[in-house]
Amino acid sequence: MKYIDEFRDRRLIDKVARQIRGAVDECRMYNFMEVCGTHTMAIFRYGIRDILPDNIRLISGPGCPVCVTPNEFIDKAIEISRRDDVIIATFGDMFRVPGSRSSLEKERAAGASVKAVYSSIDALMLAKRNQDKEVVFLGIGFETTAPTVARSILLAKKDKVSNYSVLCGHKTMPEALKVLTGDPGLAIDGFLLPGHVSAVIGARPYEFLPRRGKRCVITGFEPLDILQAILMLIMQDRPRIEIQYTRIISKEGNALARRAMDRVFEKCPSEWRGIGRIGSSGLRIKKEFAHFDAGSRFKPKIATPKENRACICGDVIKGLKTPPECKLFAGACTPEHPVGSCMVSSEGTCAAYYKYSVQRLADSV
Amino acid sequence: MEKITLAHGSGGTLMHGLIDSTMIRKLDNPILRQKKDSAILRIGKARIAFTTDSYVVSPIFFPGGDIGSLAVHGTVNDLSVCGARPLFLSLGLIIEEGLDKNILDKVIRSAGEAAGRAGVDIVTGDTKVVERGACDKIFINTSGVGDVYYEKLSVSEIRPGDVIIASGTIGEHARAILSQREGIEFGSGIKTDSAPLNKLIRKVFSASDKVRFMRDPTRGGVATTLNEITASRPFGICLEERAIPVSNGVRQACELLGFDPLYLACEGRFLMVVGRKDAAGVLNVIRGDSCGKKAAIIGEVTKEHKGRVYLNTAAGGKRLVDMLSGEQLPRIC
């Protein structure tokens, strides 16, 4: 398969792994954060930590959209799903995410209409096919998904689809990285920056990172991409932004996608699960499109959101702790009975540690 | 109150939990407790394999098959992997009010043809019709009996050093269903792998008496089936990612939708644990059959990592392969 096989070629992988071993300074540690949840999953799935020298530490970052979605959002989605006239359309990952008191999966079993879709455009089609129902799409994700959701709202307006709306929980990535790099507790030398977010926003929004002394490489998702990016991070003579994922990313990003976002959304403060409120890190639907804003249309009333205090998802998302340091990990919190969002999302760090875990393998002698 | 969710029916961890905590606990007996694909019964001097399975696939027609042929193949295969020669099947139908008679005819004809090819007879049945909405078009239950001719199959016969064989490319059935359900074409030649395996399995047993265990990787796929084998056992299973036969079409579907082929259902494949000395011979026998052309040795039984399935990745690393948990979910970014 073109663009896949080449990037999983074992000979090339072995070669880059040798180059990494040759390039590292054995007297120091390298702390690199992979920002994106898809990177985390790929690193575990291909066993990339096994291939790296011991003094390169990969820290999983906040780039799993499900994981940073606060309970409040899920509680609101659940409240809306209880209306008889509503079909909730969502990316599949959101199904099992526990809110304060329930999950969409449990609500579906209790009679709510919740459907998994692959895109917001599918949700819009669902609305067109079910004119007697209100279709509410759960808009979560970063700059990767936000433009497509913006597009679905623009299309809904153009086609006069009045029974489609979006519960908007979108977030933007650079602001979160600003907060993380301002945290003195987190010693990061460099970032594997997210490939697909960068396809939209380009390289410029990250320019503050080199100024803060952080090396950056915008990285693809195949094993060879990740290894090459790590090699590039090690070899940088001074902190700067490089693009490894050149087959997708241009420095300018995708202006068309950004225009759709700017047309429909405006910046707002946003709550990040585990990190807290970050100014200008969220997107909300502009007043002009209020008809398509499920939050203002349905005004869901929810009880004060609850969090499990023992869950350390917040520190995991910030890269301060690893999942096995959590008391709940693999005991009270498993993919079947997740306590925190990092366990339920297929791209969550806890799920990756659990599913592919070297620790669980090592425990079985 | 706890509710049953779709994840309880996915073949993974939750379903096993439900079976252990509810069905086995409340219906307990020594035969049920063995949790085999078929119950092995002693009736007089005869050893009989007995199994049952319900089919609720949607859509009911898919590339290369339909619910009728699937219901026959599934039960024939559950008997075959237990070392039995499938003989007689029952066919129980639950039909939704309003179903076109033509569709029913087509499904029954297909079940009949599948039984003919497998050399079994459908000898009894039942028909129920329910109100519109009480089921989806048609659900089928088949039960089957067969006489056991290879008696040595048991997980307790498995030893470190034994070899794991997959009888063909994995995940083709899941891809065929997905292509219909999601309306996405993944490459050419989309076709379910659903097929009766009794004749091929019979050839395998004639070629070797070192076959330790066999199971067909249906719901939950290869990963879940192998985890069922290693659970609480004094051995592990090590898979070699590069050796696992996966067609380009299945790989494309997985890349696009965020699935792992190791968890995709097959309906015409088996996984086999066989003594190392016999592996090459058995592999030749399987590859000589039209259902087994792409068969491959995909891993081995190890002393290390007892109770676990693990994988040497194509990239050169090593990772755990867990049982399926929940439903396989599409990725969101």
Q: How far apart are CA B222 and CA B166, in angstroms?
A: 9
Query: Closest Cα to residue A318, out of A177, A143, A142, A170?
Result: A177
Contact between B3 and A109 using a beta-carbon 8 Å cutoff: yes
Contact A92 B7 (CB under 8 A): no
Alpha-carbon distance B120 to B11, whole Å? 27
Give the mean pLDDT of B176-196: 79
Name which of B18-32, B122-136, B208-222, B319-333 the model is least confident about: B319-333
Contacting residues for B13 by C-beta, under 8 A, at least 6 apart: A335, A336, B323, B324, B325
CATH code for residues B36-148: 3.30.1330.10
What single string gives the DSSP state of each residue in B255-293? HHHT--GGGS--SS--EEEE-HHHHHHHHHHHHTSTT-T
A134-139 sheet: strands from edge to edge:
A113-116, A86-90, A134-139, A164-168
A31: three-class secondary structure by DSSP: strand
Domain boundaries, chain B: 36-148, 155-321
Sequence letter at residue B4: I
Measured between alpha carbons, how far is B306 from B266 in angstroms, rounded to an integer? 26
Which of A355, A357, A359, A363 has the highest number of chain B CBs within 10 A, making it the mutation to test binding with B?
A: A355
Look up residue B35 and give its two tokens. 């949790």
Instruction: Give the list of residues 6+ apart from residue A291 with CB closer than 8 angstroms, or none.
Output: A162, A165, A297
Is residue A176 a contact partner of residue A62, using CB atoms and an 8 Å limit?
yes
Give the distance from CA A205 to its chain's centroid. Answer: 17
Which residue type, as a one-letter code, is found at position B153? Answer: L
ipTM: 0.80
Segment 114-153 of chain B within 8 Å of chain A by CB: none
A95, A117, A173, A200: best to mutate for the B interface, most B CBs within 10 A: A95
Asked if residue B59 has a cis previous peptide bond (ω within 30° of 0), the answer is yes
B160 at A interface, C-beta within 8 A = no
B251, A1 in Cβ contact below 8 A?
A: yes
Separation CA A134–CA A161 (nearest Å):
10
Tell the residue number behind the tokens 């490939």, with chain if given. Answer: A195
Among A51, A66, A335, whose Cβ lies nearest the Cβ of B325?
A: A335
DSSP per-residue codes, B211-243: EEEEE---TTHHHHHHHHHHTT-S-EEEEEGGG
Which two tokens mark B88?
């007689």
CATH number at residue A240: 3.40.50.11740
Which domain, by its residues, includes A279? Answer: 1-308
For residue B329, the model assigns a pLDDT of 41
Q: Are A81 and A127 members of one domain?
A: yes
Q: How far does B182 lie from chain A, in Å, by closest CA?
A: 9
Are residues A141 and B332, on separate chains, in Cβ contact within 8 Å?
Answer: yes
Contact A37, A65 (CB under 8 A): yes
B100: buried, middle or exposed (CB in 10 Å: 19+, 13-18, 0-12)? Answer: exposed
Phi, psi of B246, deg, nearest 5: -130, 125
pLDDT at B188: 65
Measured between beta carbons, which residues in chain A are less than 8 angstroms from residue B233? none
Are A49 and B330 inside 8 Å of each other by CB? no
For residues A147 and A260, the answer to whether their CB atoms sit within 8 Å is: yes
**Do the beta carbons of residue A104 and residue A97 sit within 8 Å?**
yes
Considering the domain architecture, whether residues A126 and A33 belong to the same structural domain is answered as: yes
Domain end: A273, A292, A308, which one? A308
Q: Cβ–Cβ contacts within 10 Å for residue B149, how many? A: 13
pLDDT of residue A184: 84
What's the Cα-to-Cα distance from B214 to each of B80, B118, B229, B310, rounded to whole Å? 9, 19, 10, 19
Lowest pLDDT segment from A341-350, B45-54, B86-95, B146-155: A341-350
Do residue A48 and residue B257 have CB atoms under 8 angstroms apart?
no
Question: Which residues in B lie closer than 8 A to residue A44 (C-beta atoms)?
Answer: 319
Same domain, A167 and A256: yes
Check whether residue A304 and residue A339 sit in a common domain: no
Q: Do B326 and A335 touch (CB under 8 A)?
A: yes
Chain segment B250-283, per-residue pLDDT in tens: 998 888 777 899 999 999 999 999 999 999 999 9
Residues A246 and A339 in one domain: no
Q: What is the pLDDT of residues B102-129, one digit of tens each?
A: 999 999 999 999 999 999 999 999 999 9
User: What length does chain B have?
Assistant: 333
Q: How far apart are CA A244 and CA B268, in angstroms?
A: 42
Considering only CB atoms, which chain B residues are within 8 Å of A91?
Answer: 330, 332
Task: Please tell me if residue A106 touches chain B, with a CB cutoff of 8 Å.
Answer: yes
Task: Give the best residue of A137, A224, A356 to mutate against chain B (max B CB count within 10 A).
Answer: A356
Residue B258: which of B333, B180, B174 has the closest Cα?
Answer: B333
How many Å apart are CA A129 and CA A125, to the nearest integer?
6
Please state the rounded mean pLDDT for residues B288-314.
95
Residues A278 and A325 in one domain: no
For residues A293 and A333, state if they share a domain: no
Residue B65 parent element (H or E): strand B65-66
Quickly state the pLDDT bin for B325 (edges 50, 70, 90).
Answer: confident
Do A206 and A324 belong together in one domain? no
Q: How far apart are CA A281 and CA A266, in angstroms?
A: 10
CA distance B325 to B333: 20
Q: Phi and psi (nearest 5°) for A170?
A: -70, 150
A43: contact with B, CB 8 A cutoff:
no
Please give the angle made by the CA atoms of B96, B4 and B8, to the nearest 5 degrees. Answer: 95
Both A224 and A299 in a single domain?
A: yes
User: For every one of its 365 residues, what pLDDT tens digit does chain A have, with 9 covering 90 and above?
Assistant: 788 889 999 999 999 999 999 999 999 999 999 999 999 999 999 999 989 999 999 998 888 898 899 999 999 999 999 999 999 999 888 888 888 999 998 999 899 999 989 899 999 999 999 999 999 999 999 999 999 999 999 999 999 999 999 999 999 999 999 999 988 888 899 999 999 999 999 999 999 999 999 999 999 999 999 999 999 999 999 999 999 999 999 999 999 999 999 999 999 999 998 888 999 999 999 999 999 999 999 999 999 988 788 888 888 888 888 899 999 998 899 888 888 888 878 788 998 888 887 566 666 65
Strands (E), A169-207: 190-193
Contact flag A48-B315 (C-beta cutoff 8 Å) = yes
- Residue B1 scores a pLDDT above 80: no
Q: Reduced to 3 states, what is the DSSP secondary structure of residue A15? A: helix
How many domains, chain A?
Answer: 2
Residues in chain A with CB shorter than 8 Å from the CB of B333 are: 36-38, 65, 141-142, 144-145, 196, 347
Q: Where are the beta strands (DSSP E) in chain A?
A: 30-36, 56-63, 86-90, 113-116, 134-139, 164-168, 190-193, 215-218, 241-243, 265-272, 276-285
Best residue in A66, A361, A365 for a mutation probing chain B (most B CBs within 10 Å): A361
- Rounded Cα distance, A323 and A349, in Å: 7
Residues A114 and A82 in one domain: yes
A233 & A346 share domain: no
B99-106 long-range Cβ contacts below 8 angstroms, 24+ apart: B99/B137, B99/B138, B103/B60, B103/B137, B103/B138, B104/B138, B106/B61, B106/B66, B106/B68
Count of alpha carbons within 13 angstroms of residue A91, beta-carbon side: 27
pLDDT for the residue A360: 67
Res. B330 pLDDT band, cuts 50 70 90: very low
pLDDT of residue B10: 77
Which residues in chain B have Cβ-Cβ distances shorter than 8 Å to A15?
Answer: none
pLDDT in the model for residue B333: 26
Q: What is the pLDDT of residue A255?
A: 97
The predicted pLDDT at position B189 comes to 72
CB proximity A47 to B under 8 Å: yes
pLDDT band at residue B157 under the 50/70/90 scheme? very high
Q: How far apart are CA B113 and CA B72, in angstroms?
A: 9
- In 3D, which of B206, B84, B92 has the Cα closest to residue B143? B92
- Chain centroid offset of residue B173 CA: 10
Distance from C-alpha of B25 to C-alpha of B197, rounded to nearest angstrom: 32
In the structure encoding, which two tokens stand for residue A92, read together?
């599949």
Q: Are the Cβ atoms of A365 and B306 closer than 8 angstroms?
A: yes
Residue finishing a domain among A292, A308, A324:
A308
* Average pLDDT over all residues of chain B: 92
Residue A207 and residue A317 share a domain: no
The CATH superfamily label for domain B155-321 reads PurM-like C-terminal domain (3.90.650.10)
Contact A200, A143 (CB under 8 A): yes
Pairing state between β A164-168 and A134-139? parallel
